[in-house]
Amino acid sequence: MASTVRQPEGITPDLTSPLSLFLVFGFVAVGWSAEIPTGEICSRSGPPFVGSCYTLRGRMTAGADNIVVRIWPVGTKRLLGYADGALHCEFPKRVMDELAAGHQVYANIVVRPVTKSRPGVMQFVCVAAAHNIKTSK
């Protein structure tokens, strides 16, 4: 004889209710929204980083896609990328304000790699700081 299990009335889970959605997505968002502050990027260990911080002279420009900021190390043919949502690390506010105003930013940039360097592939980095900032339109 097969028995059936019935859900008591009034206790059926409703994952479309506003409260359920808030609880599910609220906890997920809190877990994923933790950004590494710029002051801690060079001192943190482990993921998401694959190397140590280093300084380069470069030009930063605003990206037009999921790459929020493109960094060209002066004198190279390379491009480094900062993808905001994927990296979970803060970006220096002053630089982001200049980029949002449509400026190119030249600076001594302290970066920390999040992906390994490979020929022909954009390397992703977190930006810990920018010094000696010069802007151009």
pLDDT at site 106: 97
For residue 58, name the pLDDT band (cuts at 50, 70, 90): very high
Higher pLDDT, 1 or 33: 1
pTM: 0.73
Segment 82-127, tens digit of pLDDT: 987 677 899 999 999 999 999 999 999 999 999 999 999 999 999 9
For the chain, list the domains and their CATH numbers. 38-136 (2.40.50)
DSSP symbol at 87: H
pLDDT at site 103: 95
pLDDT, the chain, mean? 81
pLDDT at site 2: 58
Longest alpha-carbon distance in the chain: 81
62 class by beta-carbon count within 10 Å (0-12 exposed, 13-18 middle, 19+ buried): middle
Residue type at position 21: L
